[in-house]
Chain A
Amino acid sequence: MSAPTDRPEDGTPTPELTPTLELRGVDKSFGAIQVLHGVNLKVYPGQVTALVGDNGAGKSTLIKSIAGIHSIDAGEILFEGRPVSVSGPRDAAALGIEIVYQDLALADNLDVVQNMFLGRERKNGFVLDEVSMEEAARDTLSKLSVRTLKSVRQLVSSLSGGQRQTVAIAKAVLWESKLVVLDEPTAALGVAQTRQVLDLVRRLADTGHAVVFISHNMVDVFEIADRVAALYLGRMAADIPISEVNRSQVIELITAGRSGTIGIAPAEAAAVEV
């Protein structure tokens, strides 16, 4: 895991910093419909990159390509500077990519520990090593200052939305992931729980993780993001430090693909709309 990184005030990473994840010219089509057009993206360690875009802009396709659920048609995915091919959730996990899906992908009938270790249980010979898993889960939760769970042996079905999100994020930390992608983590939450999750996301970046934060909520984006990447009809309109734009510019990037001098060229933007 990379060392905790200083967060420069302007959000620009220091020059020698290698992006944890870099996409170069990624194309993806489903049949005749091209969903991603030459997408470039850089995600740096210790930073929260907000991925924004309207419904259908290609956000979900993009993260599923990163997760290895979709294979890409053209372009390159670099992880810590090395070109990689990700062909499934296991590959992604092995690299250190953890995706926290919107529907959370937690098993209701399993408890917190069982969910955090799902698919990667620790074994003692043939038998599950429950003691060491429970200890590791508790350590991770306390490292993230999570004090909202009564017990790590609680069934996930008995947790609130914020607690479930917490468990899903803690799972990413437990696995020493380098890149954590959060798909609209605050969409279904109330005010207090949103606060709790945003704090957790910030802590995640402050402990050196590269974080991609997908959100429609501009308040949340401007509160915790260091960079903003705006997708417009499958094209990356901008991937810039958040200090260089204001809220209305980001909304323009989402809805029109460009804002002033930022964004895709007018000719290209016009071509896209036809």
Chain B
Amino acid sequence: MSAVTVTGPSRSPALVALERVQSLLLPALLIGEVIVFALLSSRFLSADNLVNVAVNAADIALIAAGLTVVVLMGGIDVSTGYAVGLISWFLATLMSSGTPGALTLIVALIGGALLGLLNGLLTARLSIPSIVATLGTSALFQTALFALWNRRDVFSGPVLPFLSGSERAAGVPLMLLVVLVVYAALHLVLVGTRVGRSVFAIGSNVEAARLAGIDVRRVRLLGSLVLGLLVGLAACTYLARVGVVQASSGGELSLLAIASVVVGGTSILGGEGSVLRTLGGVVFIALLENGIVLAGVPSLWNGLLVGCVILLAVGVNGAVVLLRRRSGVAE
């Protein structure tokens, strides 16, 4: 029996270099950021400030974790911010009418699951591109919030103490532990279970996944459901952080969550990435927001920096994919 030895396709030096840039982008950005802000403000690296950053980043962290699952399957969700706003209006209204916190938390989870399923049904069942479907639902959520708000700000305390920054064990906010547990659980499911493997297969090659007998629609729906549940949980931590629901509450979170995912290095085209990378992305985005304020820079520049970093991360990812195709590696 003969076995012909065939070597794999050669990878061009440019591709190898660019792949290195891609994997080192997040660590480099993080280190650069910490050095610059530490020089600009002595308070930046204090324990108090860092705990503060972690507490304030909880809602973005929770959304970004769920969003990673959707992005890994080649999808996107731009409606998460107003979904958080809409749910928090209901939570604040319930809390101010004396509803027990535990019951309010359940409402948050159910509400999040319903909004997630709506997005999931539009994208997975009706095969509407997720960017279009979630733009539509985002406008829907925003308008619903505006109508419900009706020029009346709703004030509320935290839904449950452990979902605010105040309850701590040995100085560590319990909320931070909730976030870390969510990340650990999602990570284990993604790398260690059959459904996790399906997520990567769908993002990598939908047709292959379908032919392998994977129920693509069901896995997509499941992804949207997980994101929805985390959006519901994020609404609780958001409410604990800001304490009031207004006409456009939550809107800013959509972009920050997407930024965290792509800066973390999860490919916007799907199939490649991890929630742990997203956690790194969240840390970067949260430190950026905080550092800019401490350095006394007008918050206008915050959006500029976030935008540039998104474009940088997506640009590097796109260039890698392009070069891989050109060198015939992905043929």
Binding site for B on A (CB under 8 A): 88-90, 93, 99, 101, 103-110, 114-115, 118-121, 123, 126-128, 145-148, 150, 154, 157-163, 188, 192-193, 195-196, 199, 203
Rounded to whole angstroms, the CA-CA distance of A104 and B6 in the bound complex is 18
Rounded to whole angstroms, the CA-CA distance of A99 and B213 in the bound complex is 12
Known: A105-B211, A106-B208, A162-B6. A128 touches B324 (CB 8 A): no
Residues of B1-51 whose CB lies within 8 A of A: 1-9, 11
B168 at the interface (CB under 8 A from A): no
Our count of residue pairs bridging A and B at CB distance below 8 angstroms stands at: 112
* Chain A residue contacts of B3, Cβ below 8 A: 145-148, 196, 199
- Whether B271 contacts A119 by the Cβ 8 Å rule is no
Rounded to whole angstroms, the CA-CA distance of A159 and B328 in the bound complex is 10
Known: A89-B211, A106-B208, A107-B209. A163 touches B6 (CB 8 A): yes
Minimum CB–CB distance for B330 against chain A, Å = 5
Rounded to whole angstroms, the CA-CA distance of A244 and B201 in the bound complex is 45
B89 at the interface (CB under 8 A from A): no
* Chain B residue contacts of A114, Cβ below 8 A: 197, 200-201
- Whether A148 contacts B6 by the Cβ 8 Å rule is yes
Known: A107-B200, A109-B200. A160 touches B8 (CB 8 A): yes
- The contact string, 1 if C-beta is below 8 Å from chain A, for chain B 173-213, is 00000000000000000001110011011011101111111
Rounded to whole angstroms, the CA-CA distance of A124 and B157 in the bound complex is 45
- Whether A148 contacts B200 by the Cβ 8 Å rule is no
Residues of B125-142 whose CB lies within 8 A of A: none
Minimum CB–CB distance for B97 against chain A, Å = 41
Minimum CB–CB distance for A169 against chain B, Å = 14
Rounded to whole angstroms, the CA-CA distance of A145 and B3 in the bound complex is 7
- The contact string, 1 if C-beta is below 8 Å from chain A, for chain B 69-97, is 00000000000000000000000000000
- Whether B194 contacts A128 by the Cβ 8 Å rule is yes
- Residue of A with least CB distance to B4: A196
B294 at the interface (CB under 8 A from A): no
Minimum CB–CB distance for A164 against chain B, Å = 9
Partner of A193, one of B4, B194, B208, B324: B4
- Whether A161 contacts B331 by the Cβ 8 Å rule is yes
Give the one of A109, A163, A192 with max B CB within 10 A: A109
Known: A90-B213, A119-B213. A109 touches B271 (CB 8 A): yes
- Residue of A with least CB distance to B205: A107
* Chain A residue contacts of B331, Cβ below 8 A: 161, 188
Minimum CB–CB distance for B211 against chain A, Å = 5
Partner of B324, one of A115, A121, A157: A157
* Chain A residue contacts of B289, Cβ below 8 A: none
B329 at the interface (CB under 8 A from A): yes
Partner of A148, one of B4, B194, B201, B211: B4
Partner of B5, one of A128, A148, A159: A148
Known: A107-B204, A148-B3, A203-B1. A157 touches B330 (CB 8 A): yes
Partner of B208, one of A105, A126, A160: A105
Rounded to whole angstroms, the CA-CA distance of A163 and B6 in the bound complex is 8
Closest 4 CB pairs of A and B: A119-B212, A107-B204, A109-B271, A109-B204
Rounded to whole angstroms, the CA-CA distance of A123 and B195 in the bound complex is 11
Residues of B277-296 whose CB lies within 8 A of A: none
* Chain A residue contacts of B272, Cβ below 8 A: 109
* Chain B residue contacts of A148, Cβ below 8 A: 3-6
